[in-house]
Structure 1
Amino acid sequence: MMRNLWEQLFSRFLKKFHLTRYFSKSASLKELHQSSHAQHIGKQLTEQLTHASSTPIARLLQEKQTQLSGLDESEVEIRQQRNGLNEIHTEKPLTWWQHLWYCYKNPFNILLTLLACISAYTGDPKGTLIISMMVILSTILRFWQESKSNKAADTLKSMVSNQAAVYRNNSGDKLAQYALEQLNSSAAHNIFDIPTKYLVSGDIIKLSAGDLIPADCRIIEAKDLFVSQAAMTGESMPVEKFAQHQSDNISNTMALDNIVFMGTSIVSGTATALVLNIGNKTYFGALAHRVTTQDQVATSFQVGVNRVSWLLIRFMMVMTPIVLFINGFTKGDWTEAALFALSIAVGLTPEMLPMIVTSTLAKGAVFLSRKKVIVKRLDAIQNFGAMDVLCTDKTGTLTQDKIILSKHLDVLGNTSAHVLLLAYLNSYYQTGLKNLLDLAILEHVDQDIKTERLHYSKLDEIPFDFDRRRMSVVVKTPQAQSQIITKGAVEEMLNICTHVEINNERTELTQALKQTILQNSQSYNKDGLRVIAIGYKNAPVTEQSIFSIQDENNLTLSGFLTFLDPPKDSSAKAIQALHNYGVEVKVLTGDNEFVTQKVCQDINLPHEHIVLGEEIDQMSDDEFKHAVEKHNIFAKLNPMHKERIVMQLKANNHVVGFLGDGINDAAALRSADIGISVDSAVDIAKESADLILLEKSLMVLEQGVIEGRRTFANILKYIKMTASSNFGNVFSVLVASAFIPFLPMLPIHLLIQNLIYDVSQTAVPFDNVDEEILQKPQRWEPESIGRFMIFFGPISSIFDIITFLLMWFVFKANTPEHQTLFQSGWFVVGLLTQTLIVHMIRTPKIPFIQSRASLPVMVMTVLAVSIGIFLPMGPLANYFQLQALPVTYFIYLPVILLAYMGLTQLMKTIYVKRYGWQ
């Protein structure tokens, strides 16, 4: 009951100072339910964009109170004052003092601060100084490391101030200044290049290939317009956009094909568009706002540290009063007993834990920085090691984010050089803006085909349009004929072809052959390939010099071109490496299932069954819980699907990483235990991530996992060493306090012993880790730490009691007058056994033989042992209320230490067989 009351009072304190998340015992499942309900773009925004898509342009211009010639400058200023600038307001960076507070507020720092205050109140300046230094060093080290990392991350902000070509009535000082600066003919036509942040709703803008779309817009006019929406949807292929909505599908906002969205980009073509929404009122802005305003979900590391903290804090709260009452009743000096109990509390608190954790994580961050990885949050290092599931986006992470020509085939599926030549001539000679498919063709050909092209000359071309979905060029062949070369969608090409080319011979295109060709094309689509067909028609040059759409008939189908977004060379190796280290990879993408399946097949991921976003929407909670465990590939997902999958995996007791770079990945990045992005990602993805890869090589993930596990192993070493050693000391104190008429060790002795031991542990972050420990994911298990503490702690107490008997009976230190000799004898044994336990517990193997500590650990061990012997034997003994020990003491000392090490090794063997070794 008292425990419950104390926790209620403590919880109120935490809430008051916003510390709840740092002490919470586990991640709340409420977060999962919140993420799976109504976390979608506002209904009002969806309805507004759907309305704009279906409304005639003339009426829409009236609604926006604008005109095709643009807005007056005075009206622009009014709208800017009313609606603000066209900027996305994302998460504000912490001020330096907020960041310093964030680095300070962890359970042990707060507890140690409380103990330091008590020490100061009870007149113990030395204890106050020692405890305060531990807190200050830990906080400053973390603050410095994270500040350096965040500063580096800020330099990666890729969304710079872009320009937009906007129609404005040429009035006002600001536009006059723009016109003078530009000094080009466009200004005379009321088109000005201005920073995108000055756009307002109602502006008319010009868009062309390479432009980032600066706002949500309705297309007024479009020519050959292809838009990349990969950052929003995850689909690798660009989509066609029109001036009029072409599809009946108006349920999916991103499928509105006469609306373009902020954050996407123009791949090819040109357009004139009406600005509908700016800034946070855009689709992009709504997603960014939802991601940055939701609370950061507690990670595996934070939850684990909190649980271990509660374990040690409760243990301290139980043992400290017991020590106080035993010494108070047996010695009669309650003031001395209170000081001693306070020293025990400090001794039981692993005051170096914050500093050891921070320095170990900082070492991992330095290691990763050499691998061109920026660590924004130090906690991510340990989460990297604990990760057992990595969810990754496909486009740009597993794939090269670049369309390539994969095959050039005749109608029978055989590789055809003739098909490639025709495709090259078509792409080379067209004068319109070349899209990604044309660029892939031009990059694919070798020098022989480039030389062959010199034998052809261009006569004419028939541009692409979306009605017929094809384009043609007309060339003069080496045989002095005119040749129409047409490429386009398979169905449209079949409609204008009457023959096919098989084995260099023209054959009539029958219905049966047409059906076979369509089936082959569909099979390529199912393999994740985009297919276009290519055909030709020859005619004498003298017959015609000008060609039109009517000439695209009676063609001979030559073959097909297939394109794909190929996986990176490192993807398959990285996934296999992660698998070898116990990390399961799951692909979460917005792209279609066929493309996704092909990529997963190429990188050796199981691809037999793919779960689609629409299937997830139909699943019950229980079905969804099992689906995320059973399946590894999820396609056609929206951002909320991705986040929900991550949250469910966490609820299933996994430590989850997420790798992504688009706005559609931001929510999942924020919800994961470790969010990983790249320097070319959108701003909101980089803000949500914990790690940023400066290079898109996935092999660094394996190195990050190994470094994370090495980091965690060294943190765990310190906790195990300190917890078991401190427990043994307290147990020894309880025995001594009950039977010895004086304090077995003075408070100052406990603090000095603690300080020397803790300083020696500063080398732990640089220790070696056994290879076997790095093979499996590692996570916090407070129960195993408690078991370890109780199992190994009493071993040191056995030899403490032997030391008590030695000092009492052999050296006659059995009266208050000789207590200094008794205390000096136990001080040396206690410090040396504490220091040696480092080597015994750092590995499940035999120390010094099967597993050796690193040089820094060895040096600090020798230094701690030397200081421990020097203090009672040197000139400072009186200052610290110690005295020199007899020479015969050092005959018994190695016997005690060797026996202690031997028994610990024996017990360690029993423990490993029974419980294993994390």
Structure 2
Amino acid sequence: MPGKECAERLRTDAERGLTPARAAQRLRDCGPNELAHPKKKSLLKRFLAQFSDFMVIILLIAAGISFVTSWIQRDSDYIDSIIILAIVVVNAITGMVQESRAEKALEALRRISSPRARVVRGGKEAVVPAPQLVPGDLVRLRAGDLVPADLRLVAAVDLKAEESALTGESVPSEKAADAVFPEGTPLGDRHNMMFSSCAVTAGHGSGLVVETGMRTQVGRIARMIGSQAAPQTPLQQRLARVGRTLGIGALAICFVIFIMGLFQRVDPLEMFLIAVSLAVAAIPEGLPAVVTITLAAGVRRMAAKRAIVRRLPAVETLGSASVICSDKTGTLTQNRMTVVELRTAGGVLAPDSPEGRRLLRMAALCTNCEISGGKVAGDPTEAAIVRAVSPGTLGADRRRYPRVLELPFSSARKRMTTVHRLPGGGYRAVTKGAPDFLFARCASGGAARQNEAMASAALRVLGVAYRDFGTIPRDREELETGMTFCGLIGMADPPRPEARGAVALCKRAGIRPIMITGDHAATAAAVAAQLGIAESRGDVLTGPELSRLSDAELKRNIYRYRVFARVSPEHKVRIVRAFQARGEVVAMTGDGVNDAPALRAADIGCAMGISGTEVAKAASDMILTDDNFATIVAAVREGRGIYENIKKTVHFLLSCNIGEILSVFVGFLLRLPFPLQPIQLLWVNLVTDSLPALALGVEPIDPKIMERRPVRRGESVFAGRMGYNIAVEGCLVGALSLLAYSIGRVFFDVDPAAPWIGRTMGFAVLSLSQVVHTFNMRSERSVFRSGLLPNRRLGLAAVACTFLQAAVIAFPALNALFRTTLLTASQWLVVAALSLAPLAVVELEKRLERAAPPPRRRAASAPGRRSRRSEK
């Protein structure tokens, strides 16, 4: 609607603004002009949230069963349940502390000065905090201001706004107060409006506040974010499935053993105790802590690489990412217009040639950029020209050729002319603007063809011409006729230097890079071609074309396109969901308000820390503090390494648990005295399993990890040979433990019905063979080639576990607690020989697999057990 009608509807004065009293009343009625902040979780809520994990719930149930068992036995130490609860609490504290640290890091990013606005109230101009603005306020704007609310312009002089954070346009939008547009006009085409959070790049003007806070365009997008539910990460989904499987398996073991014992007429209480000990053995009590600590270590490493993780489980999601949807402006490009090409009618000019320098210096005189401390402020297009000349050179030229007259740029004129006094007398008028206008006003030779070539490369082209006068003519039109054509300047928002390499690495890693932008299709296609994302215009789908596709059609055709141009926030969410519907794990990077809904809808959203808006940061899972697209690739590598290490720990812990179950279950089937006590099983689970597993979780990342395909959504943790290897290795560990138990019981125990030595030897072999087995998990290469140096923590963990295991056997004070007895030197030799057996067996398996012909190798298998032949 016209500005006058808008003022009447807002019940305000378009020249004097609201009275202070009415402004105060509207502030009470409408509330402050700010976006709603998400409510912070208390420490108690953060702590309790850690107990929602399925594995943690199983551990709590196990602790409860252990407590009840101790109570039935009248056992006053309750050591089993205490140890389980201690592990759960430590895990919860670790998760809570990490989330709190991430939020503090985010708060540090938000510590910027509160924006202020120049407002006219009662005819007097004042500077007030932006949150105090209300509908009807008259706000004054000038170059460099941030727009504090959504405004309907009532005055505009050469006014331009940089709206890339809202519309995706890299070129500032020209504004006109007298323009009127029909309802439903796209935001980027509403030239009579200024939108909250956008920057004024040139000119000055004033406008009436029409919307504030959550009712602005920024606020509407913020509300859209609230409707997007954050999805579970792939790691959460896979570990939840493992937890459910283990829980069901533990219950099945309890039931089968208990029923079998009743049929054999064993005392029900004794059978219940045996069943509970097996259930405890079936659950890797250390797994939640190992996963949490591994993720936390990854978070610290990623923070050192300038990526702040806001949600701990989201670390590994990037490792599973198969599609990265990235905004163009400011993420793949520098969001900084740059002179990239100079031409005359005769062809391309070198920037450092005499003709090139003359063209740039002439154009720089016809700019209004401010220079302070070597920095350039003003219209991005003009700033690009000034930077190409250098601020120092322009300063000298401005003093040598002082400006005496200006015909300002306007959307109607599409040109700007300045008149300068020449040192030897006379004047020179310099005009820059749309090439078509200049071609009509001066002899340009074949420059029109050069302009077409530059435009086809998606460059923003300005023409420059001049004319000398003895005196300034009275008719201003004469200044812009009969000119001498000087040349064409082609500008673009160039790609980041490291972006092309990052895109290429994504492709090698099996990740599909996708560009999503609000910019024009030609510009997007040109940038995408430079980066290697797309090859032709056929790879580009525009917003209007996307709107004509149903969700089913978009899902079916989503792989045909690499670039999506002129898209809205709703389009971005549809694109993300279409990829997700095809089974892809989608990461979304961006910095603008228009990226926020898709950041939330994606499996993981990565916002920019420097140029990113607060709305985008709040919607993200990760913040890249250096605004560098290449950082996302480093994060993907880190995420893959974390997932591989967690998968190795799952492999290790489950194979150990199978060994523990078999050693007890088979002994029961053979009607042997109970081979292991519950406290011994818990010791193995929580100490000699968990300490090496923690060290395994920080294993250095494989240098070739970015040459593998991403883990597919829904792919089992046991994909490839992992399930088979877990079963075989678990059976080996269990058999060795039973063998040691049998040797001790038959050859060393005085009373086979009370096999103290046999039980102690079986306990020692079960524990130490698992410590040795940890080194098998490190790599598909031979342990003698990989060595200990790359992961000193694993060596220290192995030494610590060996010492602790020896202590519970060698120290009489601990014998009663752990139901063990002292061993002789010959008995220790048997224990050592059997404990080293897993290393020999797995090394033999590795050698056989490396010697296997290529068809026997698998393309996708478990970490630590993939095709070893390729790693010779």
> Normalising by structure 2, what TM-score?
0.89
Q: 1:896 corresponds to which letter in structure 2?
A: L
User: Do structure 1's residue 781 and structure 2's residue 719 form an aligned pair?
Assistant: no
Match of 1:112 in 2: 59
User: Do structure 1's residue 482 and structure 2's residue 427 form an aligned pair?
Assistant: yes
Q: 1:844 corresponds to which letter in structure 2?
A: E
Q: 1:788, CA displacement in angstroms? A: 3.8
User: Do structure 1's residue 598 and structure 2's residue 531 form an aligned pair?
Assistant: no
Instruction: State how far apart, in whole Å, the 1-side matches of 2:404 and 2:811 are.
Output: 101
User: Do structure 1's residue 765 and structure 2's residue 701 form an aligned pair?
Assistant: no
Assess, with a 3 A threshold, how the Cα gap between structure 1 residues 813 and 360 changes in structure 2: closer, same or farther. Answer: farther
Assess, with a 3 A threshold, how the Cα gap between structure 1 residues 430 and 370 changes in structure 2: closer, same or farther. Answer: closer
Instruction: State how far apart, in whole Å, the 2-side matches of 1:450 and 1:860 are.
Output: 66
Q: 1:121, CA displacement in angstroms? A: 2.2
Q: 1:327, CA displacement in angstroms? A: 4.3
Which one of the candidate residues 123, 132, 146 is aligned to 2:99?
Answer: 146
Give per-residue Cα distances to partners, 1:592-634, cap 9 Å, x unaligned.
1222222223323333121212222223445422433233222
Q: 1:480, CA displacement in angstroms? A: 3.5
User: Do structure 1's residue 572 and structure 2's residue 500 form an aligned pair?
Assistant: yes
Match of 1:897 in 2: 835
Q: Is the 8 A contact 2:369 2:383 kept in 1?
A: no
Q: 1:436, CA displacement in angstroms? A: 2.0
3-state secondary structure, aligned to 1:833:
helix
3-state secondary structure, aligned to 2:700:
coil
Q: Is the 8 A contact 1:326 1:738 kept in 2?
A: no
Q: 2:278 corresponds to which letter in structure 1?
A: I
Q: 1:664, CA displacement in angstroms? A: 0.6
Assess, with a 3 A threshold, how the Cα gap between structure 1 residues 562 and 823 changes in structure 2: closer, same or farther. Answer: same
Which one of the candidate residues 64, 69, 79 is aligned to 2:10?
Answer: 64
Assess, with a 3 A threshold, how the Cα gap between structure 1 residues 702 and 256 changes in structure 2: closer, same or farther. Answer: closer
Match of 2:733 in 1: 796
Instruction: State how far apart, in whole Å, the 2-side matches of 1:891 and 1:162 are.
Output: 75
Q: Is the 8 A contact 1:361 1:378 kept in 2?
A: yes
Assess, with a 3 A threshold, how the Cα gap between structure 1 residues 92 and 594 changes in structure 2: closer, same or farther. Answer: same
Instruction: State how far apart, in whole Å, the 1-side matches of 2:273 and 2:520 are.
Output: 69
Q: Is the 8 A contact 1:807 1:813 kept in 2?
A: no
Q: 1:66 corresponds to which letter in structure 2?
A: T
Match of 2:826 in 1: 888
Q: Is the 8 A contact 1:311 1:782 kept in 2?
A: no
Q: 1:476, CA displacement in angstroms? A: 3.4
Give per-residue Cα distances to partners, 1:875-897, cap 9 Å, x unaligned.
12234322223443234334323
Assess, with a 3 A threshold, how the Cα gap between structure 1 residues 158 and 661 changes in structure 2: closer, same or farther. Answer: farther
Match of 1:344 in 2: 278
Instruction: State how far apart, in whole Å, the 2-side matches of 1:661 and 1:769 are.
Output: 29
> Which segment is superposed worse, 802-811 or 144-153?
802-811
Which one of the candidate residues 591, 595, 598 is aligned to 1:665?
Answer: 595
Q: Is the 8 A contact 1:331 1:741 kept in 2?
A: no
Q: Is the 8 A contact 1:845 1:851 kept in 2?
A: no
User: Do structure 1's residue 161 and structure 2's residue 125 form an aligned pair?
Assistant: no
Instruction: State how far apart, in whole Å, the 1-side matches of 2:470 and 2:762 are.
Output: 109
> Normalising by structure 1, what TM-score?
0.85
Match of 2:868 in 1: none
Give per-residue Cα distances to partners, 1:503-559, cap 9 Å, x unaligned.
xxxxxxxxxx6xx71x54343223121112122223323xx4655245422333332
Match of 1:45 in 2: none
Match of 1:15 in 2: none
Q: 1:258, CA displacement in angstroms? A: 0.6
Instruction: State how far apart, in whole Å, the 1-side matches of 2:111 and 2:119 are.
Output: 23
> Which segment is superposed worse, 336-345 or 848-857?
848-857
Match of 1:806 in 2: 743
Q: 1:581, CA displacement in angstroms? A: 3.4
Give per-residue Cα distances to partners, 1:449-491, cap 9 Å, x unaligned.
7766665343422222332121211223456343221111223
Q: 1:362 corresponds to which letter in structure 2?
A: A
Q: 1:421, CA displacement in angstroms? A: 3.2
Instruction: State how far apart, in whole Å, the 2-side matches of 1:130 and 1:58 are.
Output: 75
Match of 1:725 in 2: 656
Assess, with a 3 A threshold, how the Cα gap between structure 1 residues 63 and 774 changes in structure 2: closer, same or farther. Answer: closer
Aligned counterparts, 1:214-363, within 5 A: 214-245=148-179, 250-330=184-264, 332-363=266-297
Match of 1:530 in 2: 460
3-state secondary structure, aligned to 2:427:
strand
Match of 1:14 in 2: none
Match of 2:511 in 1: 583
Q: 1:147 corresponds to which letter in structure 2?
A: S
Give per-residue Cα distances to partners, 1:416-438, cap 9 Å, x unaligned.
43432321222269999952222
Q: 1:773, CA displacement in angstroms? A: 4.5
Aligned counterparts, 1:670-709, within 5 A: 670-680=600-610, 681-709=612-640
Q: 1:721, CA displacement in angstroms? A: 0.9
Instruction: State how far apart, in whole Å, the 2-side matches of 1:733 and 1:430 are.
Output: 81
Q: Is the 8 A contact 1:404 1:564 kept in 2?
A: yes
User: Do structure 1's residue 420 and structure 2's residue 360 form an aligned pair?
Assistant: yes
Unaligned runs of 5+ in 1: 1-54, 170-188, 503-512
Which one of the candidate residues 184, 194, 212 is aligned to 2:128?
Answer: 194
Q: 1:759 corresponds to which letter in structure 2?
A: L
Q: Is the 8 A contact 1:613 1:636 kept in 2?
A: yes
Q: 1:330, CA displacement in angstroms? A: 4.1
Q: 1:342, CA displacement in angstroms? A: 1.9
Which one of the candidate residues 373, 398, 405 is aligned to 1:460?
Answer: 405
Q: Is the 8 A contact 2:808 2:815 kept in 1?
A: yes
Unaligned runs of 5+ in 2: 350-354, 851-855, 864-872
Higher relative contact order (CA 8 A, sep 6+): 1
3-state secondary structure, aligned to 2:587:
strand
Q: 2:527 corresponds to which letter in structure 1?
A: V
3-state secondary structure, aligned to 2:755:
helix
Q: Is the 8 A contact 1:268 1:433 kept in 2?
A: no
3-state secondary structure, aligned to 1:576:
helix
Give per-residue Cα distances to partners, 1:8-66, cap 9 Å, x unaligned.
xxxxxxxxxxxxxxxxxxxxxxxxxxxxxxxxxxxxxxxxxxxxxxx233322221111
> Which segment is superposed worse, 679-688 or 878-887?
878-887
Match of 1:175 in 2: none
Q: 1:763 corresponds to which letter in structure 2?
A: A
Q: 2:808 corresponds to which letter in structure 1?
A: L
Instruction: State how far apart, in whole Å, the 1-side matches of 2:517 and 2:215 are.
Output: 25
Assess, with a 3 A threshold, how the Cα gap between structure 1 residues 421 and 892 changes in structure 2: closer, same or farther. Answer: closer
3-state secondary structure, aligned to 2:519:
coil
> Which segment is superposed worse, 433-442 or 62-71?
433-442
Instruction: State how far apart, in whole Å, the 2-side matches of 1:218 and 1:451 are.
Output: 40
Percent of pairs with identical residues:
27
Which one of the candidate residues 561, 565, 568 is aligned to 1:635?
Answer: 565
> Which segment is superposed worse, 296-305 or 631-640?
296-305
User: Do structure 1's residue 438 and structure 2's residue 368 form an aligned pair?
Assistant: no
Aligned counterparts, 1:367-386, within 5 A: 367-386=301-320
Instruction: State how far apart, in whole Å, the 2-side matches of 1:271 and 1:301 are.
Output: 53
Q: Is the 8 A contact 1:710 1:774 kept in 2?
A: no
Match of 1:842 in 2: 778
Q: 1:584 corresponds to which letter in structure 2?
A: R
Assess, with a 3 A threshold, how the Cα gap between structure 1 residues 549 and 870 changes in structure 2: closer, same or farther. Answer: same
Assess, with a 3 A threshold, how the Cα gap between structure 1 residues 441 and 826 changes in structure 2: closer, same or farther. Answer: same
Query: RMSD across aligned C-alpha pairs, in angstroms?
Result: 2.7
Q: Is the 8 A contact 1:488 1:532 kept in 2?
A: yes
Q: Is the 8 A contact 1:678 1:692 kept in 2?
A: yes
Instruction: State how far apart, in whole Å, the 2-side matches of 1:768 and 1:458 are.
Output: 63
Which one of the candidate residues 312, 317, 339 is aligned to 1:405?
Answer: 339
Which one of the candidate residues 60, 63, 73 is aligned to 2:20?
Answer: 73
User: Do structure 1's residue 392 and structure 2's residue 337 form an aligned pair?
Assistant: no
Assess, with a 3 A threshold, how the Cα gap between structure 1 residues 430 and 773 changes in structure 2: closer, same or farther. Answer: closer
Q: Is the 8 A contact 2:173 2:188 kept in 1?
A: no
Q: 1:232, CA displacement in angstroms? A: 0.6
